Amino acid sequence: DHQQFIRNFCIIAHIDHGKSTLADRLLEFTGTVQHRHMQEQLLDSMDIERERGITIKMASVRLSYKALDGVTYQLNLIDTPGHVDFTYEVSRSLAACEGAVLVVDAAQGVEAQTLANVNLAMSSNLEIVPVINKIDLPAADPDRVAEEIEEVLAIDATEAIRASAKMGIGTEEILESVVRRVPPPSGDVNAPLRALVYDSHFDAYLGVVAYIRVVDGEITGGTQIKMLATGKVFDVTGVGVFAPRMKSIDKLRAGEVGYMTASVKTVGDCNVGDTVTLAHGGSSQPLAGYRQALPVVFCGLYPVDSNQYQDLKEALGRLQLNDAALTFEPESSAALGFGYRCGFLGLLHLDIIQERLEREFNLVLIATAPSVIYKVHLTSGETIEVDNPANLPPATQIAGMDEPMVAASVIIPSSYVGTVMDLARERRGVYVRTDYPARDRVMIHYKLPMNEILMDFFDQLKSRTKGYASFDYDQAGYEPSNLVKLDININGDPVDALSFITHKEKAYGRGRQLVEKLKAIIPRQQFEIRLQAAIGAKVIASENISALRKNVIAKCYGGDISRKRKLLEKQKEGKKRMKSIGSVEIPQEAFMSVLKLG
Ligand code: GDP
Ligand code: MG
């Protein structure tokens, strides 16, 4: 049986512990990529991944490895992202694997996402191969980390491989461990085709490229297939593997990982999580798919130049092809005009989508302050969901509101317990319990409102603990809360795109802070600008931005037309990203400043 020579595995770790670097070493060691073509974190193929040094999309690659037993194995490796926003990517890749290489930094030890990812891998019954990485670091303490792996993760670490992905130490042992310990796939090659779509991307020529894990049967070019969930039928135009670029091959058999193309033009016809089977005589048993990842953070994206509205729609559609968790629908704002309400898995996800829209599609965008989804009980007895503060009905029609909660865990050295508890209290956190995962380290569990996490929580946590804290969270249902909408008026007019929903007790402080921030951010203009924060008709804070002095105006905006044009050009380029609201120019930063309120 060919399957006995296949190993499907992913690499999981907390962010920055060295997954992508280890993947580089595996590619190199197996000769999948020649040394002269090697570049660091090769599987992070997007520019934005390379610049930020993080993995956003999982990447798949097939390696051919001649093991010490003399047999050549087919290894299918999936590199996964580590950040909490992208847990969905991790859970999808796990379903295509039988094993996981768990990378733990020899100096940092077990962190929040180490735990989260190990829990995911264990619940998918994956064999876990622990690797203690970065043993070259002076601060490395592999013995202590091995202890932590045993105590915190309950994984036998006696066979943990001590490695340095940077120096190439331990690479062969890792490959040998994968071959020895990860079980081969055990599908039925003689049964009708069943393959799981675990990811996809859109190619202008090929249509949807579906990344599949074949579980039973086989698939070749010309096979007529059916998507089980949608019932749609297609003719396969090609199958192949990532090596690491797309390489077409004759067929994919049970146990193998690769891609399929079938001139599918709409991603909705070939959803991630769906099962591919034969159009005739196929299986009716879908494979266990995935829970659809639902966006939890929403914001409005508006083109600065309204002529880009249609382009924005197309660009969002394109990105959605690669990113099932992204949602969008048209919305309009009195202040900003026409745009889209977009849904994301978290703030990093939002940030990355905005940057990709601007960079890959040349759009210049204004993003409004992110919001979570509130459940609003109306006096009429109806309950509605509101993800845009501007759409909140007037207070007189609201009987009560529920807000989404998260179960958060923070791992820190014990000396920071007080600091973290202070922060959690400021953010309306409810203490749950403390665990003691390892010597000198503490894991504190809190229940927190999600909207408090959006506001700068992670940055605060990092800075107040000098970078030592790691943080993870899960959705934890809804709870009733005393919430109000805070409006910002500019020269007397409410700016819908600046409204936000906050707890009543925080409203005064945050309203005051926000007008002060806006005063600092909005440039002085030719007239005085009056800024107010208000709850309903009641103004709770105000500030004035005084007008520019005449001679300064003359200098900047005088008769020099070419200079003025240059200025406009610059604005268009997004260097000075401003949106006129009424007659006031508001920079992009203003819309995000609500996130920086303590
Ligand atoms: P990922 O987020 O888990 O994919 O981590 P990366 O592979 O992007 O690595 C994060 C950082 O750690 C990069 O700067 C790497 O160069 C560095 N790094 C990875 N492995 C090692 C190692 O074995 N030793 C040292 N000293 N640094 C490493
Ligand atoms: Mg990475």
pTM of the model: 0.77
Element (H, E) at 406: strand 398-413
Q: Per residue in 185-205, is it b (16+ CB within 10 Å) or e — as a string?
A: bebeeeebbbbbbbbbbbeee
Tell me, in angstroms, the distance from the centre of ligand 1 to residue 43's CA: 13
The pick from 21, 78, 110 for probing ligand 1's pocket by mutation, whose C-beta has the most ligand atoms within 8 angstroms, reads: 21
Closest by CA position to 478, among listed 578, 376, 573: 376
Our answer on whether the CB atom of 479 is closer than 6 Å to any ligand 1 atom is no
Our answer on whether the CB atom of 83 is closer than 6 Å to any ligand 1 atom is no
Question: Coil, strand or helix: which one is 8?
Answer: strand
Please give the number of the atom of ligand 1 that sits closest to the Cα of 17.
3
pLDDT of residue 44: 63
Q: How far apart are alpha carbons 392 and 388 in whole angstroms?
A: 7
Our answer on whether the CB atom of 41 is closer than 6 Å to any ligand 1 atom is yes
Q: How far apart are alpha carbons 165 and 103 in whole angstroms?
A: 10
Task: Give residues with Cβ within 8 angstroms of 32, minimum separation 6.
Answer: 26, 61, 62, 63, 64, 243, 244
Closest by CA position to 274, among listed 200, 332, 188: 200
Question: Coil, strand or helix: which one is 325?
Answer: coil
pLDDT of residue 27: 87
Task: List the helix and strand counts (H, then E) for the chain.
Answer: 15, 33
pLDDT of residue 552: 44
pLDDT of residue 564: 57
C-beta neighbour count of 462 within 10 angstroms = 14
pLDDT of residue 230: 86
Beta strands in 316-364 (DSSP E): 327-333, 337-344
Cis peptide bond prior to 330, omega within 30° of 0: no
Tell me, in angstroms, the distance from the centre of ligand 1 to residue 16's CA: 6
Sign of CA dihedral 128, 133, 135, 140: negative
Nearest ligand to the C-alpha atom of residue 139: 1
Our answer on whether the CB atom of 164 is closer than 6 Å to any ligand 1 atom is yes
Atom 17, ligand 1: residue with shortest CA distance:
18
Please give the number of the atom of ligand 1 that sits closest to the Cα of 79.
4
Q: How far apart are alpha carbons 308 and 436 in whole angstroms?
A: 53
pLDDT of residue 553: 43
The pick from 86, 166, 169, 171 for probing ligand 1's pocket by mutation, whose C-beta has the most ligand atoms within 8 angstroms, reads: 166
Tell me, in angstroms, the distance from the centre of ligand 1 to residue 401's CA: 45
Closest by CA position to 264, among listed 340, 212, 299, 304: 212
pLDDT of residue 57: 57
Our answer on whether the CB atom of 347 is closer than 6 Å to any ligand 1 atom is no
Atom 10, ligand 1: residue with shortest CA distance:
16
Atom 9, ligand 1: residue with shortest CA distance:
18
Tell me, in angstroms, the distance from the centre of ligand 2 to residue 43's CA: 8
Nearest ligand to the C-alpha atom of residue 23: 1
Q: How far apart are alpha carbons 25 and 100 in whole angstroms?
A: 16
Q: Evaluate whether 42 touches 27 at the Cβ level (below 8 Å).
A: yes
Tell me, in angstroms, the distance from the centre of ligand 1 to residue 356's CA: 24
pLDDT of residue 575: 43
What does each of the 598 residues of the chain score in pLDDT, given as a tens digit?
Answer: 899 999 999 999 888 899 889 988 998 899 877 665 666 666 666 666 656 655 555 578 899 999 999 999 999 988 776 666 666 667 777 888 999 999 999 999 999 889 888 988 998 899 999 999 999 999 999 999 999 999 888 899 988 999 999 999 999 999 999 999 999 999 999 999 999 988 888 888 898 899 899 999 999 999 999 999 889 999 999 999 988 788 999 999 999 999 999 998 877 788 778 899 999 988 888 887 666 677 889 999 999 888 999 999 999 988 887 777 899 999 998 888 899 999 998 888 898 899 889 888 999 888 888 899 999 999 999 999 999 998 999 989 999 999 999 999 999 989 999 999 999 999 999 999 999 877 788 999 999 999 998 877 888 888 898 888 888 888 899 999 999 999 999 988 888 888 989 999 989 999 999 999 899 888 888 888 999 999 988 999 999 998 876 544 444 454 555 665 665 555 555 445 677 777 788 887 788 777 777 6
Tell me, in angstroms, the distance from the centre of ligand 2 to residue 131's CA: 15
Q: Evaluate whether 10 touches 78 at the Cβ level (below 8 Å).
A: yes
Our answer on whether the CB atom of 178 is closer than 6 Å to any ligand 1 atom is no
Q: Evaluate whether 161 touches 132 at the Cβ level (below 8 Å).
A: yes
Token pair of 561 as six digits: 């037309």
Please give the number of the atom of ligand 1 that sits closest to the Cα of 169.
23
Q: What is the dihedral of CA 518, 522, 526, 532, to 10 degrees?
A: -20
Closest by CA position to 374, among listed 496, 247, 503, 276: 503
Q: Per residue in 280-302, is it b (16+ CB within 10 Å) or e — as a string?
A: eebbeeebebbeebebbbbbbbb
